[in-house]
Structure 1
Amino acid sequence: MDVAPYLDTLLLLLVTVAAIKDLESRRIPNRLLLAGLSGALVLHLLSPHPLDALLAALGGFSLGLAVLLPFYLLRGMAAGDVKMMATVGAFTGAGDALHIVIVAWCVGGVMALVIIIVNGRLRLAMSNLWAMLRPMLLRLPRGFTPGVDGYRSAGSIPYGVAIAAGTIVHLVGRYGPTPLG
């Protein structure tokens, strides 16, 4: 049985609900991600080559986790976003997950820039960026930031929306636009 259309439909449903939840409450429910992951694993088991499908799912899950985990550890991203990308990777496999995460980075960057500008925090964002890059650019000892007690956030974004957008762009690219008529 070809499970790809079912995987893609379930994935589209998952990222849509996750994006809506992220916009509503700035949280992506663990139960939603666990249900999506369970559905992906069951569908992979029903595929013609279940072992290959499960290994691809493991690779995608691992890539999604590994690529975004450093941002969580640096407090630049929430855990739900990392878990969402890992779950998306379990649906798609590593190669497609990498494509999705790159598109999500682009979408997230645009979202962040718009939010920073709309909220009038561009100067604060540039100041934070300079404080982070200054030691490296000026070859100062690591952690040397005179006059900086800590960073004030210039804002945050619902990154689940960026992951959903990356996933949708990927799926549209896979199926392509269909001609009308």
Structure 2
Amino acid sequence: MVVAPYLDTLLLLLVAAAAINDLSSRRIPNRLLLGGLAGALVLHALSADPRQALLAGLGGVVTGLLIFMPFYLLRGMAAGDVKMMATVGAFTSPTDVLEIAVLAWCAGGIMALAVVIYRGRLRLALANLWGLVRPMLLRLPAAPSTARESVGSIPYGLAIAAGTIYLLIGRYA
């Protein structure tokens, strides 16, 4: 059975629902992600080569977790975003989830810049960035970590959805 169109359709529905939830409530429901993960596993099991499909999906999950986990640990990203990227990986493969992550970083960067400019916090954002980069550039000893004022956050589920949709459009264009 050819399952790729079904995987892509379910993935599209999943990222759309996650982005809408993230925009409205700033949360990505675990039930949504678990349902998506279960759907991906079932579809992989129905594929022509279930062993290969399940291994690719598992590799995608691990890659998605490993790519975004450092950002979560540095408190730059919420756990739901990490879980969403892992779930997206279950539908794709390690290579695809890496491409989606890069696309999401690009979309997230544009979103973050727009939010910073809209809120008039560009000067604070640049000061925070300089505080992070300065010790490395000037080869200074690492300064003790000080809490910096946040310039705001973005619903990163939207950025992940944008990267995923861009990849899926590329498959069918």
Q: TM-score, normalised by structure 2?
A: 0.98
Deviates more, 1:136-145 or 1:52-61: 136-145
Question: Number of residue pairs matched?
Answer: 173
Residue equivalent to 2:69 = 69
Structure 2 unaligned residues grouped into runs of 5+: none
Q: 1:146-157 to 2 correspondence within 5 Å?
A: 149-157=146-154
CA–CA distance in structure 1, aligned partners of residues 67 and 129 of structure 2: 21
Measure how far apart 1:144 and its partner are.
4.8
Q: TM-score, normalised by structure 1?
A: 0.94
Off by >2 Å, runs of 4+ in structure 1: none
Measure how far apart 1:143 and its partner are.
2.3
Q: 1:15-164 to 2 correspondence within 5 Å?
A: 15-144=15-144, 149-164=146-161
2:166 is aligned, of 165, 169, 177, to 169
Cα deviation, 1:124-166, whole Å, max 9, x if unaligned, reads 1001101111111111111257xxx421101100000000000
Matched letter for residue 166 of structure 1 = G
Structure 1 unaligned residues grouped into runs of 5+: 177-181
Conserved 8 A contact 1:135-1:144: no
Conserved 8 A contact 1:28-1:81: yes
Q: SS of the residue aligned with 1:87?
A: helix
Matched letter for residue 141 of structure 2 = P
CA–CA distance in structure 2, aligned partners of residues 76 and 25 of structure 1: 18
CA–CA distance in structure 2, aligned partners of residues 151 and 58 of structure 1: 37
Conserved 8 A contact 1:3-1:43: yes
Measure how far apart 1:169 and its partner are.
0.4
